[in-house]
C-alpha cells in the first residue's frame, strides 16, 4: 500500500513577508487608480466649464467607473472647451476603460495563498475570482508581480492625463496633445501587462470641409 504524499510545509516567515508585499502593492495599485479617477474628474470640470466643486459633485455622484466615463465622453462630444485635446482625451478614456477590468478584479476578487505545488503561482498570494474551480484559476489570477506592473501602467496613464490638463505651467514645457496621445496608445493594452501596444495608432477623424 503506497503512502500518501506529505503536504508541503509552510514557512511562516516567508508567507508573512509575501503577504506584506502583496498587501502593500495592492494598496498602492488602488491608490493610483483613485488618482486616475481624480484626474478624469478634473477633466470633466474643464469639459463642462463647471466649477471644480460642482463638476466633481456630479462626476462622483455615480459610484461605478463606467458611468463616470460615459459622463466624460458626453461632455467631450458636447463641449467647445477642449480645443485640440479631444482626441487625446478619448484615447485616455479608451485605455481607462480597458484598465478598469483589472481594477474590478482587484476590488471584487478573493485572496488565496496558493499551496498547490503543480501550479505556477505556488507559494504566492493570488487575487482571483472567489469561485475557484481548478488550479488554472489560481495561475490566471492577480499576483504581486502583476500588481507592480499595473501600478506603473496606471500611474503612467494618470500622469499623461494630468500633464496636459489646462492650468498653471510655469515649470512645464510645451506639450503636444498628439504626442501624448501616442504615448497613451503605446501603454500596454492590459493593466497587468508589460508589453507595449505596438498596433497602428488610429488617426483622428478629419473635420468636414466647408464648401464656399
The predicted-structure confidence for 15-37, as pLDDT tens digits, reads as follows 899 999 999 999 999 999 999 99
What pTM was computed for the model? 0.85
pLDDT score for 87: 92
The predicted-structure confidence for 139-156, as pLDDT tens digits, reads as follows 788 999 999 999 999 999
Show the beta-strand stretches assigned E in 88-210.
Answer: 110-113, 125-128
Show the beta-strand stretches assigned E in 10-135.
Answer: 110-113, 125-128
Q: Which residues pair with 169 in a beta bridge?
A: none
- Stretches where the chain sits below pLDDT 50 are 1-2, 6, 169-170, 207-212
What is the DSSP code (8-state) at residue 90? H
Name the burial class of residue 200, with classes exposed (0-12), middle (13-18) and buried (19+) by CB atoms within 10 angstroms of its CB: exposed
Q: Which residues pair with 125 in a beta bridge?
A: 113
Amino acid at each position: 500500500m503506497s503512502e500518501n504524499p506529505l503536504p508541503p510545509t509552510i514557512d511562516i516567515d516567508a508567507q508573512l513577508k509575501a503577504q506584506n508585499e502583496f498587501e502593500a502593492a495592492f494598496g498602492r495599485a488602488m491608490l493610483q487608480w483613485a488618482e486616475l479617477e481624480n484626474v478624469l474628474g478634473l477633466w470633466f470640470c474643464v469639459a463642462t466649464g463647471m466649477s471644480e466643486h460642482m463638476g466633481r459633485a456630479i462626476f462622483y455622484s455615480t459610484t461605478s467607473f463606467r458611468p463616470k466615463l460615459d459622463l466624460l465622453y458626453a461632455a467631450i462630444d458636447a463641449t467647445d472647451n477642449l480645443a485640440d485635446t479631444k482626441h487625446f482625451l478619448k484615447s485616455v478614456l479608451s485605455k481607462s476603460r480597458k484598465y478598469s477590468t483589472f481594477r474590478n478584479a482587484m476590488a471584487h476578487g478573493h485572496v488565496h495563498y496558493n499551496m498547490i505545488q503543480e501550479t505556477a503561482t505556488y507559494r504566492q498570494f493570488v487575487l482571483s475570482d472567489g469561485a475557484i474551480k481548478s488550479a488554472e484559476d489560481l495561475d490566471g489570477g492577480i499576483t504581486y508581480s502583476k500588481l507592480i506592473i499595473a501600478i506603473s501602467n496606471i500611474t503612467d496613464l494618470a500622469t499623461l492625463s494630468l500633464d496636459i490638463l489646462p492650468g498653471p505651467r510655469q515649470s512645464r514645457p510645451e506639450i503636444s496633445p498628439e504626442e501624448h496621445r501616442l504615448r497613451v496608445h503605446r501603454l500596454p493594452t492590459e493593466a497587468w501587462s508589460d508589453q507595449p501596444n505596438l498596433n497602428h495608432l488610429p488617426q483622428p477623424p478629419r473635420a468636414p470641409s466647408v464648401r464656399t
